Chain A
């Protein structure tokens, strides 16, 4: 079965084709970052307006690239939530209608299931069961994954998501939107020993996170240090480093704990923050020290993309799951509410 995937949940238009036998045949992402940068964040109406311009041309481009004609697509998968409702509606309406007109089945995919399954697109792919750490702009969740659709929430952020904390702290440091990757770049020049930020909620049992205090800590540190700083740029870099170290350490501590609690050996990371280099290094070191294994998507598939939607959709469509003749995207939608395949 060959599935066309459509992702429009936020500020990226992602289109891909996944083939059950040949794997990924084509993948294209168009990012709206430049449109939203001047506002310091995603403007939902502008995002929707751009998706309606970009989605269909990207679909044609991907079909051409894969040298496929329409009749060679056996199913359509579109992101049905969670995300910005107006943005979701564009991909959902287009995808559902495309499938209707092609007379093939369609499936609404959970965006976070897309992220969660993205490491399975790589070789070697992890076997089930495993612990998944979803770290993105809107989510920080630890999940016990028994199989596709069999998810148990182990812990999550009680306030800001890790990516959100990266972005907000980047803003405090005066970095352009989207701040996560920029902050990581600045942190490379930072002195890890100058400041030490707290590792929130690691001193007590449990697998929940709290990241909103770290941005306040960064702000306070910046306000304290800047007036007397000889080298303001270095101070910013040092704060970026201290922040990144604190987030990374916290994630590592909780992942190790989650593996111990579940007894699983395999850990997968997914979502935008899993592209972070320091996180990958420290996680690899910590988990391999315990004879565990860590899996990631390729950096391109950490952030939003169509490949993960095509792939997740393929799994559900081949299991015989599909939508009736309607599209009902949801801004909010719990991963744990998904049915097993």
Chain B
């Protein structure tokens, strides 16, 4: 399996390459400078592995939610690269990748993800790590006020993402009793996108370049729609 994944959904900008069961990642914190860096990171990974884009089996990207501009950038980069090299694309939720990253770092198998969505809202997801060590969503991802987040019944969730920083008091008053820890500073990383994407690709869950689309969650972007 040779798969290249990227994420530009937040302040971090990262690319990861799965090649021969090993994974390499390049990550930079580069707010508003993703356009200067992302293709360089992708190229560096390929150079190191002595691969070209056309040698890959698939491309993957963090499709959102996150910064609208950021997820569109990842989408556009992957659309272009996939179209030119005629490669399939796997779109991975940034919330799922965030949960996968928490499992990688801390081993937690029940992860709540909350990203600061501004305007008094969070992008919200609930994930369980399955027997294959992959994050699986256990409730539809949504954008809502912190007071509205839904929590499947369990008592030992771990919370991750910027939402736990931006709305700490609100979230803690709603779900604090079910949380045994939080990491409000973690961000989505391409290596976790890659791990989920490799499994999804094996399961046939991929699209063509044109099928690669962002997932915003927030669809109300004008006042009088």
Which residues of A approach B to under 8 Å, CB–CB? 39, 43, 45-46, 48-49, 52-53, 55-57, 59-60, 70, 85-86, 89-102, 325-329
Contact B81–A52 (Cβ < 8 Å): no
Residues B71-129 near A (CB distance < 8 A):
72-73, 75-85
Is B213's CB within 8 Å of the partner chain A? yes
How far does the Cβ of B211 sit from chain A's closest Cβ, in whole Å? 10
* A-contacting 9-mer, from B31-39, B136-144, B145-153, B191-199: B31-39
A104 CA / B37 CA spacing, docked (Å):
19
> Are B69 and A86 in contact (CB-based, < 8 A)?
yes
Kindly list chain A residues whose C-beta atoms are within 8 Å of the C-beta of B213.
Answer: 52-53
The one of A52, A59, A91, A327 that contacts B214, using a Cβ cutoff of 8 Å? A52
Q: Is the CB of A52 within 8 A of B40?
A: no
Contact assessment for A97 and B80 in the assembled complex, using a CB-CB cutoff below 8 Å:
yes
Whether a CB of chain A sits under 8 angstroms from the CB of B203 is: no
Q: Which residue of A lies closest to B6 (CB)?
A: A97
Taking CB atoms, residues of chain A closer than 8 Å to B78 are 97
Asked whether A101 lies within 8 Å of B84 as measured between CB atoms, the reply is yes
Main secondary structure of the interface of B (DSSP, over half): helix
Asked if B45 CB lies within 8 Å of chain A CBs, one says no
Complex-state Cα separation, A93 to B71, whole angstroms? 11
Report B-chain residues with C-beta under 8 Å of the C-beta of A329: 35
Complex Cα spacing A311 to B37, Å: 28
Q: How far is the CB of B30 from chain A (nearest CB, A)?
A: 11
A145 vs chain B, min Cβ distance (A): 30
Alpha-carbon distance between A113 and B192 when the two chains are bound, in angstroms: 42
Distance A176 CA – B79 CA, assembled complex (angstroms): 35
In the docked arrangement, what's the CA distance between A328 and B39, Å? 12
Question: What residues on A are CB-neighbors of B58 within 8 Å?
Answer: none
Q: How far does the Cβ of A40 sit from chain B's closest Cβ, in whole Å?
A: 11
B76 touching A90 by the CB < 8 A rule? yes
Cα of A95 to Cα of B35 in the assembled complex, Å? 12
Task: Tell me if A328 and B36 are in contact (CB < 8 A).
Answer: yes
Using CB atoms, name the residue of chain B closest to A53.
Answer: B213
Closest to B86 in A: A70
- Distance of A91 Cα from B81 Cα, bound (Å): 13
Given A43-B222, A95-B80, A101-B85, check contact A325 B39 (CB 8 Å).
Answer: yes
Across-interface contacts of A91 in B (CB, < 8 A): 76
